[in-house]
Chains A and B, each alone.
Chain A
Amino acid sequence: MIPLIYFLILWVIVLGLFFILAGFSVLQMLRFGLAHPVTEISTAVFALIVAVVIVGTIGYLSGVDLKSGLDISALLNVGQTPLF
């Protein structure tokens, strides 16, 4: 059994890394992209997609019991069909 909280900690760390890279990308775009609607629209679309994914994930995770664990051995053997 691997507690879900471990996966959540890993998720937060990778998300932090994502925010650093995304922040640099947006900064470069707004700094060097000449004033043009496409510069702003593409950045807004990117930010919107990121927000939807993160809010959606957090929304889903809020309904999950994070104290429970993921039983990998049970997934591989009993009562489950392998995914592929």
Chain B
Amino acid sequence: MFHVNKLPGALPDEKPIGLYRRHPITILALIISFVIVIVLPFAAYLFILILHPTYYLNQQLMAVFVMFGGLFFLFVIMFIYQNFLDYWLDMWIVTNRRIMNIEQNGLFSRTTSELRLYRVQDVTAKVDGFVRTMLDFGMVFVQTAGEKEYFTFEDVHHPNEIAKKILELAEIDRKEHLDEAMEAIESTEIEHHNAIKEKTARGLEP
């Protein structure tokens, strides 16, 4: 298990419960392309050797092939590595105090959001499709007290177990931090009430 000190803004008495990533099957295409890319240079060498062996006699041409073939191979390997990085750095962390969603979008874009467990109201697990059902992975939607706020765990393994665990942890956290939970609920109700008043004033809601 990872160490809680590695998390941004660790809370006092916070303990890590789980770290979730997308199911590895979601990067199957990446794994296959990695294998193909590794095999490709050897296959190309044999292909030319069988069909046009005279090309290997031209040293200058071979030198250019080696230089730019190597460069092409390097960039393809880097592309695969960056895609793996994109998969590996997307994660959902559950501790006994909060849920964190860390999302890597490409190389230079990273989003980190967190949700305190006492704000969790409803957790839904969704597994749809043949492959997801067979391999037991799917979505987990965490709904908070707010109107539109929700967290989505995408394609995580054992979504039902995760949903159950989050609900249990949220219940414990609400009991332990009753005052904060009550404040959050009250502020949400006020926000909700104000939103309705605003909509009514604009004639959007009766």
Contact = CB atoms under 8 A, between A and B. Distances in A.
Contact of B61 (A18, A46, A66, A70): A70
B6 A57 contact: no
Contacts of A61: 63, 66-67
B78 A22 contact: yes
Given A22-B81, A42-B88, A68-B60, 6 more contacts: A21-B78, A22-B78, A25-B81, A32-B104, A33-B85, A50-B77
Interface of A: 4, 7-8, 11, 14-15, 18, 21-22, 24-25, 28-29, 32-36, 38-39, 42, 46, 49-50, 53-54, 56-57, 60-61, 64-66, 68-71, 75, 80-81, 83
Given A29-B88, A75-B61, A34 B2 contact: yes
B55 A35 contact: no
B71 A18 contact: yes
A7 B64 contact: yes
Contacts of B66: 56-57, 60-61
A39 B88 contact: yes
Contacts of B82: 25
A80 B48 CA distance: 13
A30 B157 CA distance: 25
B73 A53 contact: yes
Instruction: Among B55, B60, B70, B73, find the residue whose CB has the most chain A CB atoms closer than 10 A.
Output: B60
A42 B6 contact: no
A18 B74 contact: yes
B84 interface: yes
B60 A70 contact: yes
Interface string B51-70: 01011001111111011101
9 contacts: A4-B60, A24-B107, A56-B70, A64-B59, A71-B60, A75-B58, A80-B58, A81-B52, A81-B54
Contacts of B58: 75, 80
B193 to A, nearest CB: 40
Nearest to A50: B74
B19 interface: yes
B110 interface: yes
B70 A53 contact: yes
A8 B89 contact: no
Given A35-B2, A38-B88, A11 B68 contact: yes
Contacts of A53: 70, 73-74, 77
A11 B107 contact: no
Contacts of B73: 53
